[in-house]
Amino acid sequence: MITVSRLVLDHFRSWTHCMFDFTPGVNILQGANGLGKTNIVEALEVLSTGSSHRASSSLPLVQRGFQTATIRANIEEQKSNNEDSTTTFELTIRARGANRARINGGASIYMRDIIGKIPFIAFTPDDQRLVWGDPAVRRHFIDQTAAVLVRGYAQRLQQFTHIAKQRAALLKQLGSQDGDVQRDAALSGLEIWTGQFIDIGSQITRDRNHMIELLNTFSVRSSVN
């Protein structure tokens, strides 16, 4: 069993600084509207999946007037020999630039290296958009879920996004090239990017199919039970 025993936020959303100690079992967050209860749940979501259902970039996650926000969580895991171990995950979110992470205060690593290590499921009113919203909402749900369930998916998706941007930029340049030499060089580069685009895109498709098969397995079990 994996549980969160402590959560610390610095300059995350509305919280300048806060620390929460959780007990095993059900924990209820109670407070006035606008206090920031949802922000606490969102912080765990970002730490687990690398993204938020409420924001498409890191900028809204950082408190106004600051350049970075920090999420730290102590994760307790009970192993098969009934011994407990504690791991501290820390994520530094930048208003602009790459987000970085640490495990147990170690060396700085990419955010994608901790994605999926903390199992997390969030049910929010926005989940209704999975039914009536546009396809981008469902794609985001698939990507966020696969980042937790499929090893290496987050890294492959990041690579795919980078390749897609480079390929699109090259296609744009190709339309403005006049000389044959420049055009041939652009076509050669396009061939390389397209090959990578197809390879990683195919793997992502297989990852998504695998993730959907996992979800279907749980759905079938639930309907039978």
User: Cα–Cα distance between 26 and 86 in angstroms, integer?
Assistant: 19
User: Cα–Cα distance between 18 and 43 in angstroms, integer?
Assistant: 12
User: Cα–Cα distance between 28 and 5 in angstroms, integer?
Assistant: 14
> Is 36 annotated in some ligand binding site?
yes
> Is 161 annotated in some ligand binding site?
no
> Is 152 annotated in some ligand binding site?
no
Amino acid found at 106: G
**Beta partners for residue 102, in sequence order:** 90
User: Cα–Cα distance between 199 and 92 in angstroms, integer?
Assistant: 31
Q: What is the DSSP letter of 106?
A: -
User: Cα–Cα distance between 20 and 199 in angstroms, integer?
Assistant: 44
Q: Three-class SS of residue 30?
A: coil
Cβ neighbours, 10 Å, residue 9: 23
User: Cα–Cα distance between 11 and 104 in angstroms, integer?
Assistant: 21
> Is 117 annotated in some ligand binding site?
no
Signed CA dihedral, 109, 5, 1, 26: sign only:
negative
> Is 35 annotated in some ligand binding site?
yes
> Is 32 annotated in some ligand binding site?
yes
> Is 74 annotated in some ligand binding site?
no
| Binding-site positions | 31-38
| Binding-site positions for ATP | 31-38
